[in-house]
């Protein structure tokens, strides 16, 4: 539920249980057949949760009877955002006056220091003796690598490793193209042209991938590079695109490979970039994502769910 869908009709459907406890007969049949308990979720922002419109939903007795849990995901933003940016996060405790005290509350987070934990307990209205359940954050599929910068930060030369796979792929593609052209000349008994092609390829310092540029660029694993300031994001994109062109990629492919993502982009552009980046890599290069590197501020984070992002550079 968001600003676009926050309508009177939807609120009425939520209040009357269309999404949470409707179709009870069918629900009981499924639960009995599969020996499970079915639950539904109403996902909404703190601004909507605290609005006067939604207050009427929360005060409805039938809705209250079917409410089994109030969950706050990424609960650290209550402190990080609530006190400086989105004030509604810091007022979530007000919801406790509208919800039956028997309904449990759950806050989820990946990491949280003791100072922020105390702040969140107060802002969300958790009792000081609330049970804290800690689990291991070990993720064997994730590797953390720390590198010292070797070059001046504003040159972005330390990001050269991102395009190294492309350089090697361009070399291979250019050599294959040259070999194919030379073979074709030999078939025509045009030995002079074949020798000229081989010689030109040998002398050429910068190889060109040509029509194979997109395939070469796909050798970059999907990567997000986080940079603090929008101006630096744009500068980094410009440098990386230039390096790709110098490596032998076509301009079209280079401009598609690296994209900027920040709060000043139009919503349409953000959605387009996210949708393209979310495309899975498949055997057909043309069906795979053209975007391989997203240079972003922290505007790219919440609600981003790409299962095949292989690297994050901070």
Would you place residue 53 in the very low, low, confident or very high pLDDT band (cuts 50, 70, 90)? Answer: confident
- CATH 3.40.50.300 in the chain: give the residue spans: 153-162+211-313
| 219 in Cβ contact with 255 (< 8 Å) | no
Tens digit of each residue's pLDDT (9 = 90 or more) over 72-128: 888 888 888 877 778 888 888 898 888 888 888 988 888 788 888 888 888 888 888
| 210 in Cβ contact with 249 (< 8 Å) | no
Percent of the chain with pLDDT over 70: 77
Q: What stretch of H or E contains 65?
A: helix 61-66
Give dist(CA 157, CA 85) in Å, integer: 34
Would you place residue 285 in the very low, low, confident or very high pLDDT band (cuts 50, 70, 90)? Answer: confident
Give yes or no for residue 29 having a pLDDT over 80: no
Phi-psi region of 287 (alpha: psi -120 to 50; beta: other; left: phi over 0): alpha
Give domain 153-162+211-313's CATH number out of 3.40.50.300, 3.40.50.720, 1.10.760.10, 3.40.640.10: 3.40.50.300
| 79 in Cβ contact with 119 (< 8 Å) | yes
141 or 14, which is more confident? 141
Give dist(CA 157, CA 59) in Å, integer: 58
Most confident of 44-53, 166-175, 200-209: 44-53
Tens digit of each residue's pLDDT (9 = 90 or more) over 153-196: 889 999 999 989 988 888 887 777 666 666 676 677 766 665 66
What local confidence, expressed as pLDDT, does residue 36 receive? 46
Give yes or no for residue 259 having a pLDDT over 90: yes
Neighbours of 226 (CB within 10 A): 16
């Amino acid at each position: 539920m968001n600003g676009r869908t926050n309508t009177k009709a939807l609120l009425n459907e939520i209040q009357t249980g269309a999404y949470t406890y409707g179709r009870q007969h069918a629900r009981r049949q499924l639960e009995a057949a599969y020996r499970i308990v079915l639950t539904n979720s109403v996902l909404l922002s703190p601004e909507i949760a605290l609005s006067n419109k939604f207050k009427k939903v929360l005060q409805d007795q039938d809705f209250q009877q079917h409410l089994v849990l109030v969950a706050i995901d990424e609960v650290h933003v209550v402190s990080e955002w609530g006190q400086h940016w989105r004030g509604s996060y810091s007022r979530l405790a007000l919801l406790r006056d509208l919800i039956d005290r028997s309904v449990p509350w759950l806050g989820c987070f990946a990491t949280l220091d003791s100072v922020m934990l105390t702040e969140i307990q107060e802002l969300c209205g958790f009792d000081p003796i609330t049970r804290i359940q800690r689990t291991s954050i070990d993720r064997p599929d994730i590797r953390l690598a720390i590198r010292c910068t070797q070059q001046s930060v504003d040159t972005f030369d330390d990001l050269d490793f991102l395009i190294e796979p492309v350089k090697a792929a361009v070399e291979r593609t250019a050599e294959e193209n040259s070999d194919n052209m030379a073979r074709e000349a030999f078939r025509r008994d045009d030995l002079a042209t074949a020798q000229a092609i081989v010689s030109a390829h040998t002398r050429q310092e910068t190889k060109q991938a040509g029509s194979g540029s997109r395939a070469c660029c796909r050798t970059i694993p999907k990567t997000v590079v986080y940079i603090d300031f929008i101006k630096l994001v744009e500068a980094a994109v410009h440098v990386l695109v230039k390096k790709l062109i110098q490596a032998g990629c076509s301009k079209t492919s280079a401009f598609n490979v690296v994209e900027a993502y920040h709060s000043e982009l139009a919503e349409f552009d953000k959605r387009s970039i996210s949708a393209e980046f979310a495309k899975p890599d498949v055997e057909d290069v043309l069906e795979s994502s053209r975007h391989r590197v997203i240079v972003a501020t922290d505007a790219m984070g919440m609600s981003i769910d790409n299962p095949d992002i292989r690297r994050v550079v901070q």
